[in-house]
Structure 1
Amino acid sequence: MRPKSFDPTGLVVRHYNSAGRVREYDFATLPVAEPMQRSLAVLFAARCVAHTWSVHASSSLYWRQIQAFAVFVSGRLRAPRDLDEVTAGLIEAWHDAVVTEDGGFTLFTFVTRLLRDDVRLQSGPVADALARRLPRLRSRTQSFSEAEFDQITAAARREFRSALARIERNAAHLHRWRSGDFTIGGEEWLLGQALDVEARTGYALSGHPGTGRAGPAGRTAVPAWDRLFLSRLEATALGVLLLAQFGWNLSVIDQAVVPRASPDPGLDGQPTYRIPVQKRREGAGRYFETRNVTDDGAGTPGRLITQALAATRFARAIVADLSPGTELLIVWRTQMVGRERSDNDRHPPVGLLRFGIHRDAGKDWAQAHGLGGSPFRRGRRTVNAVERREPGQNSRDTHDRHYALVDKRVQADAVSVIAAGAKAATALARRTVAAAVRAAPDPHAATTATVDCADFTNSPYSSAGSGCTASFLMCLGCSNARIHPGHHSRLAHLHEALGNLRSVLDPRSWEVEWGDAYARLDHLQTVLGGQTWAAARTRVSDADRDLIADLLNGDLNT
């Protein structure tokens, strides 16, 4: 049974997120009359359902906008007591007050979206005012330059690989200790004992991070609290690598679940992982996606997954014992118990272990490496808009409109792409038949050495009214030209003659002199069809041969 959204007063709305954790919003604190408090609470509660707001981040964002609206309403000379007293003039005044502010688009859009759900505001001038749209502001976030992104990924790779090497080194030592390879009481044995306690509980021997414990003969075990787990910043480095590899945004990385290797990895023994990904911004019905990646060696997407599983295996084993069913991929050990920010949309701590990557961790990681700011937002734009050129967690339209088209690096890269496309299109046009193919001669067209010409005076190859001065070999590329069956045999013979020249001339010289003409004849052969072209070759006359010989010898040049 779904928990009640209201407390007995009807003014406190409870929002249960997808994990079943609750957050309360007290509408009695809004500086408006109680009837309006209750009306706003009803509208707000209607959206506090799983298929509308599945996380507290959504409800808290709307709550901040409602608070701002309530402050504005309370400052009016004649403040409305309930929503039925809200007028078009009040909405217009509010629009004018917020439109120039940072966040004004969100403020106006979110509150009007909520108010439009009230039946009392769904008709008349006030409905028209609420339907007003502000232009969506373009994101000012830009992608990283290639050098910047290389610096970020290199820093993340160094930090994560160092952490993984430490964990593997200590895991090997722990295995030897459990196998009885060390003399009891020795330094190596004491370290193995400390590692065993850490692997089973997450705690160092003393129960306090960074301290040792006296062993036999007064010796002290080496502090081992950080030897088998990632730290907060090391987990963030892993998140940066997942971003660079898969283009995931921070919310996807934060909630990433443990990938499963396929039951049949193949004869080569390389595991293939099935990675489930939530992509809520794709829209209803496309929230979930599964990707398969194979560990084919160093640098492959599957290898990163293999390394992530190895780096988190001890932490995930403890979590499996203490919180069965928790299958999040990114798990790290905290050094500061009780000082983490409470966030009910994220998985609660399990002992000393924490999950995922909070947005603050991205800022702290960047600061630790001397970088400008959190790499996740700009990094996602870099991977999806610039490198992969495809949507990550957004629809194709959103990706193109709000990410790719407004990114300066994409725009700069597009210049060369557009130029290359224009060049290719021009080259294709030069090698394509532009002449009109007719079933019969055009009585108004003049005969030339290759085709008929409908307008000798106005040629695309010469200035208007001066008459055509182009070679007859270019006639097939002119829209004034007319081709009818009487031309087929000489054109087929010209095609064959140019092919013969190709076999005896230097390839570069032939391409410059005859390449375009030969390509247009190739295209004409396709237009007419192989059967028609073959029949034309059987009808070549001596007059056709003499005419084409004169043309190729330059005797007909104009």
Structure 2
Amino acid sequence: MLVVAFHGDDGRRATFDVSRLPLPGWHQALAAAFAERTGPAGGLRTHAAARTGWGSLVRLMRFLGSLPQPPTVPGELTPEHVTAFHAHRMATSPATARQDFTRARLLFTRPSLREQVAPQVIDHLQRRLPSPRTPMAAAGTAVPPATGTTKRLTSGYSDGELARLMAALRADAAHIRDRIRAGEDILRRYQQDPQALGEEDRALGRMLEQMDATGQVPTPPGARPNPFAPERLALAGRLFLTLRDLPPLLLLAAALSERNGETVKELPVAHRMLDDRAVEVVIVKRRRGANRWSQTVTWEIGAPGRELHTPGGFYLLLLELTARSRRLRGSPSPLLWCVWRNGYGAGLGVADDHCAPFAHSLRGTPILPTAWAAGRRRPLLADPQPGSNGAPGPGQALPLQVSFNRIKTSMEVRRTKRMGGHLPSAAKSNTMPVLFRNYLSGDPVITAWAEEVLGEALADAEQAARRAHERATQLLGGDPRVVPGPAGVTALEKTSIAPSADRQVADGGLDTGWSACADHDRHPLTGQPCEVSFLGCFHCGNCLITRKHLPRLLGLLDALSQRRQELPQEQWWQRYGPAWVAIRQDILTRFTPAELEQAPTRKPHDALLDLVENPWETP
């Protein structure tokens, strides 16, 4: 059997005819393998996923069939064929080349094909491909690639762009809500007492009553007798949602629910109210593996009049706006979305049709979010970006690129910021690796926020190290004594060390790791022989620094900088921060620029940092 019948978990059906593909010697094995991929235990369990997998299969077979010496049966396939296919896709469609290769691997590892393909081909398919991710353009810019087309952005929006987008979505949604509620109010008043209305409203109420009963939209008086007349479309919008209403409503639902466009398009009618405070809905969450397509969510309803700000309240509003079209539709649909459309425009041969636009396919009705944003009375614009290489200059803004992916990324970024960057708490509809890899990594907003948080954390850590150094010096007799210039006996006499130790200090007889100790046998705090680490010398009143110690101190700073790359920042500041602060701020500042410039020429190769730490403390 060369026709694969598909019945997905989303209730959609399709058939895939393998016999239309080239290379007949492959057909039987391909049909069996694709049936496994789309079957109950396979990974392609929705109509969109099955169509996408079928598209990759068609492209692979057409490529193999176009070769001068094609593999006529699966056993003739070689790693070179696979490599050539990947190179061909990279040259013609680099954006989907990796996905095509991955889907080919998943197909060829099914038992029906794996047993017929050479093992080296399977090994070649299992290799790890390099990541196709490239540095993203700045948010809101459109970078023209070599082909001259506009690059599609995937990063999130800046704070200003997101604020403008949400305001526009709410404004359009409020206009749609008020328009339909105003029509329903006129219909209700007409049905109660037609004579209480004015002549114009009474004529409108008569047409609305006919529309409510039959679902058919008449031609308004004075309009052209044409089913495509704009007056007729405006009249339909008095009671029904129309196709042009979908973009702002779908996008706002995606933003409030923090879900992707696929999930929003498949919102169900069935729900459960929880004490009039929240609504419980079973939504579709794709790409989570076989038998894991559904997920139960609870959405807050919010206060009356705030339905455009809460996911539960907006869901109930959408149920209200689509209820009449669902009632008038010929066959019931479990999906929420149902709108009026011109039947002639859809090729149905009738004037009116109430349809569920996503019942058969998620791509059956194009949404075109960017066209909606550009076609508004006040078009949405991206943030102005500095110009380079002919790009728009400062003060010039491009139309804002609007997509479900960018909205989802923006919402993931904002939630992660609210959670303080704690990924386990921020991971809502995805795992932590997927959240970081697909939404947070490389996003300009999260990058700027992370740099700000990191800068504040480093500043706090430095201040904490400074305070620790100051507390230690107060307990241990004051700051280290620094003697700039030649460390002769005359210079040392100006310090408070014992006269008998002057010559020993000048000759290096009292040197420790990186300084000298004026009285090793009497610690300022305990009065006993000193037992602290050499790193603790920099907080002690017995510490004496001369010019000859500078090379070793600079070598120690280099070693501390190396440790900074090996240890977490918090641990580094706790272990080495006080010594680093003492050297940088209390010691090096006492020497002249000429002394500091000359010291690196005599810097030792080994700072001996490992010798002052226990082996188990070394990173």
- Give the TM-score band, short-chain normalised: 0.5 to 0.7
Match of 1:489 in 2: none
Match of 2:61 among 63, 70, 76: 70
CA contact (8 A) 2:170 2:308 kept: no
Deviations 1:91-120 (A, max 9, x none): 334344445551221121211221122232
Matches within 5 A, 1:73-92: 73-92=64-83
Q: Which moved more, 1:197-206 or 1:394-403?
A: 197-206
- Cα distance in 1 for partners of 2:166, 2:236 equals 27
Deviations 1:386-437 (A, max 9, x none): 45553454222111122202212211121111111222333445567999xx
CA contact (8 A) 2:214 2:328 kept: no
Q: Which runs of 5+ in 2 are unaligned?
A: 137-153, 380-398, 418-425, 473-519, 547-577, 579-619
Match of 1:332 among 304, 329, 339: 339
Match of 2:35 among 45, 63, 66: 45
- Cα distance in 2 for partners of 1:222, 1:121 equals 58
Residue 275 of structure 2 is aligned to residue 264 of structure 1: yes
- Cα distance in 2 for partners of 1:165, 1:241 equals 16
User: Structure 1 residues 351 and 94, CA, compared in 2 at 3 Å: closer, same or farther?
Assistant: closer
Give how far 1:13 is off: 2.1
Instruction: Report SS of the residue matched to 1:334.
Output: strand
CA contact (8 A) 2:77 2:117 kept: no
Match of 1:25 in 2: 16
Matches within 5 A, 1:332-481: 332-335=339-342, 337-339=344-346, 351-355=353-357, 358-369=365-376, 370=379, 371-389=399-417, 390-391=426-427, 393-429=429-465, 446-449=522-525, 453-454=530-531, 459=536, 461=538, 467=544
CA contact (8 A) 1:256 1:277 kept: yes
Matches within 5 A, 1:197-276: 197-206=210-219, 224-258=235-269, 260=271, 262=273, 264-265=275-276, 271-276=277-282
Deviations 1:224-279 (A, max 9, x none): 322012232323212222222221110111111247462633xxxxx432233322
Residue 313 of structure 2 is aligned to residue 277 of structure 1: no
- Cα distance in 2 for partners of 1:319, 1:261 equals 19
The aligned length equals 433
- Cα distance in 2 for partners of 1:236, 1:299 equals 20
TM-score (norm 2): 0.61
Q: Which runs of 5+ in 1 are unaligned?
A: 1-9, 214-219, 266-270, 342-349, 436-443, 470-515, 517-558
Matches within 5 A, 1:101-180: 101-102=93-94, 103-117=96-110, 118-120=113-115, 124-138=119-133, 140=136, 141-180=154-193
TM-score (norm 1): 0.67
- Cα distance in 1 for partners of 2:313, 2:451 equals 39
Give how far 1:318 is off: 4.1
- Cα distance in 1 for partners of 2:536, 2:232 equals 93
Instruction: Report SS of the residue matched to 1:351.
Output: strand
- Cα distance in 2 for partners of 1:377, 1:75 equals 35
User: Structure 1 residues 302 and 459, CA, compared in 2 at 3 Å: closer, same or farther?
Assistant: closer
CA contact (8 A) 1:249 1:380 kept: yes
Instruction: Tell me the amino acid that sits aligned with residue 160 of structure 2.
Output: A
Deviations 1:161-217 (A, max 9, x none): 11111111121111111212535994332221211222233322359997689xxxx
CA contact (8 A) 1:115 1:121 kept: no
Instruction: Report SS of the residue matched to 1:204.
Output: coil
- Cα distance in 2 for partners of 1:28, 1:178 equals 60
- Cα distance in 2 for partners of 1:169, 1:11 equals 55
Instruction: Tell me the amino acid that sits aligned with residue 36 of structure 2.
Output: A
Instruction: Tell me the amino acid that sits aligned with residue 365 of structure 1.
Output: W
Q: Which moved more, 1:169-178 or 1:279-288?
A: 279-288
CA contact (8 A) 1:182 1:188 kept: no
CA contact (8 A) 1:315 1:332 kept: yes
User: Structure 1 residues 223 and 110, CA, compared in 2 at 3 Å: closer, same or farther?
Assistant: closer
CA contact (8 A) 1:17 1:55 kept: yes
User: Structure 1 residues 200 and 53, CA, compared in 2 at 3 Å: closer, same or farther?
Assistant: farther
Give how far 1:293 is off: 0.7
Q: Which moved more, 1:306-315 or 1:35-44?
A: 306-315
Q: Which moved more, 1:247-256 or 1:189-198?
A: 189-198
Match of 2:599 in 1: none
Match of 1:268 in 2: none
Matches within 5 A, 1:499-538: none
Deviations 1:470-518 (A, max 9, x none): xxxxxxxxxxxxxxxxxxxxxxxxxxxxxxxxxxxxxxxxxxxxxx9xx
Give how far 1:14 is off: 2.3
CA contact (8 A) 1:164 1:311 kept: no
Match of 1:492 in 2: none
- Cα distance in 2 for partners of 1:113, 1:382 equals 32
When the two chains are superposed, the root-mean-square deviation of aligned CA atoms in Å is 3.9
Give how far 1:351 is off: 3.1
User: Structure 1 residues 107 and 310, CA, compared in 2 at 3 Å: closer, same or farther?
Assistant: closer
Deviations 1:357-393 (A, max 9, x none): 8453424323323343333221111111245553454
CA contact (8 A) 1:331 1:353 kept: yes
Instruction: Report SS of the residue matched to 1:280.
Output: coil
